[in-house]
Structures are given as structure tokens and as C-alpha cells.
Amino acid sequence: MNLRQIWLDEIHQDSRYGVKGEILINHKSKYQEIIIINTKNYGNVLMLDGCWMTSDKEEKYYHECLVHPALISKINPCNILIIGGGDGGTARECLKYNNILNIDLVEIDADVIEISKKYLSQIGQNSWEDKRLKINIVDGFEWVKNCKDDYYDIILVDCSDAKEHATGLFSLGFYQECKRILKSDGIFATQSESPESFKEIHLKILNLINNVFNISSTLYGCVPIYPSGLWSWTFASKDINKFLIEKYENIKSIEESCDIWNLNYQSGGFKMMPNKILKELSK
């Protein structure tokens, strides 16, 4: 069947970020509008409620940067929580590690998972069949509130932007709950929006995390389909710095498996905070 080519844009603060392609599905779930568009440059691209989420061809810029700075330093068997992550990319990167015992993937919208399995199968790959991955269709904030203390080694927040059902995942209460359920030597990581196109929420996230956790640091990188392209991920731990240690056990095999992330990318990325953000944070 020949589908019609159209332009589809994320409209953000009077700017348009668009791709040209054919709409494969436009579905209204209980929570949001889910669109998959097939494009020449990016393959299949997922849009939720008008915002670009991920695509076949550039998703690794995002998923590798959320996962590896947190997991590379973890030598012990790991119990992981992923909040969001319904496309399967974050779980796929986690499952590269041999020491993963369990991953609880907590996604509010079952339809995102079903649509991703069908249209973004390159992203989730065979993670969906891995017995270590447990899918829970629940609100992420509710999940952490009901979880016992000191339970997870790693918490990865792979959520949408800070609006509608995702708002709670950027709040003080949420970060406090994450700290409570994280083991004493655990690592917390979240996508922390763009210092350019989402500057206010970016500053809010960094300030809140810095107040809640004893140690935190932000990695800057790029995600080509997001507004402005510039993006960030913030990592935190309860006491000594657990995510920027000098000795990594798994580094060679993980670097070889990655398209974007490596130790140089990480070392540079953690030093790339734009000066205007640095100035605002030190006010």
C-alpha cells in the first residue's frame, strides 16, 4: 500500500522540529496520542502527544547515555527499576550486562509497549522475551511510593517531558522516594531535558536532585530528533561518587557494543555543562 508522505512537527516554543514520512499508526490510548511515522532518515519515529520520543536510527544517542554511565560501575548482581522506557531501548542496553538479576519496567501506558513491539522492534529487539525483564503497567510515582526501602541497585527514569501524567516524575517527592528505595551504594539516573529548549525544567531537575542526593552530576550530549538537539542525563548517588569511578570492569565489551557512548564520550559529556546553566545553578 502506498501511504501519503506528510510533514510532521513537534512544535515547541514557536519553533518546529519536523520530519517527512508516512504515518503508520495514529492511535489514541487512555493517556495520550501515539503516532509512528516512517521516514527515510530516521526509520520509524515515535511521537507521543506531539513530542518526539525515539526513532530507529538515532535512539542510541539517548539510550546509551542514560544506561551506561550508571551500569558500567556496578560489579555486583543488580536489581534495576526502569520508570517509563516503553519502547524497550533502555531495557535492551541494561540487558547487555551479565550481572543483571531483575529489571522492573514500570510503564503507565500498555499501548506504548504494544505499538513499540510492533513498529520499533529494532529498538526493543529481543529484550521483551528476556525472563529478567518484568513489565508492570502502573504509574511510576505510585510504584516508587509502594516500594520497600533500599530495594534497587539502579533506578533509571526514561520518561516523557514534564507534562500531563509525567509531571510527578520531576517533583521533589518523587526524587525523595527514589532515594529511599535505592540501596546505599545504588545509582539514580534520569533524562533531565535540554539546557537549551527546556532550560527552566532542566534547572529545576538539577536543583531538586542536588538537594535530595549527596552526589549528582549531569552528562550532556545530543539527541538529533529532540528540540534543539542538545540533551542531558543526570546521575546521582547517596554518598561517595558511584558513577564516575576510575576503574570499570565491563568497559571493553560494552564500548564495543555501543554506537555512541564510550568512556571518552562520557568523560567529555560530564564536563559540558553550558556556562549559563552553571551560573544559574550557583545563584
Among the listed residues 64, 93, 109, 158, the single contact to ligand SPD using CB under 6 A: 158
Span 82-141, contacts to ligand SPD by CB under 6 A:
85, 87, 89-90
Question: Please, what is the minimum distance in Å from the beta carbon of residue 264 to ligand SPD?
Answer: 24
Q: Does 232 bind ligand SPD (CB under 6 A)?
A: no
Is the CB of 64 or the CB of 177 nearer to ligand SPD?
64
User: Which residue in 191, 192, 234, 266 binds ligand SPD (CB under 6 A)?
Assistant: 191
C-beta separation of 210 from 179 below 8 A: no
Q: Please say if 150 is a catalytic residue.
A: no
- In angstroms, the CA 220 to CA 76 distance is 27
Q: Is 196 exposed, middle or buried (0-12, 13-18, 19+ CB in 10 A)?
A: middle
Distances (CA, A) of 24 to 1, 19, 31, 125, 251: 11, 14, 19, 19, 38
3-class secondary-structure state, position 211: helix
Taking CB under 6 A as the rule, does residue 177 contact ligand SPD?
no
Catalytic residue among 111, 158, 161, 259: 158
Does 157 engage in binding with ligand SPD (CB under 6 A)?
Answer: no
Q: Assess contact for 120 and 154: CB atoms under 8 A.
A: no
**Positions marked catalytic:** 158
> For binding to ligand SPD (CB under 6 A), which residues are involved?
51, 53-54, 62, 85, 87, 89-90, 158, 160-161, 191, 226
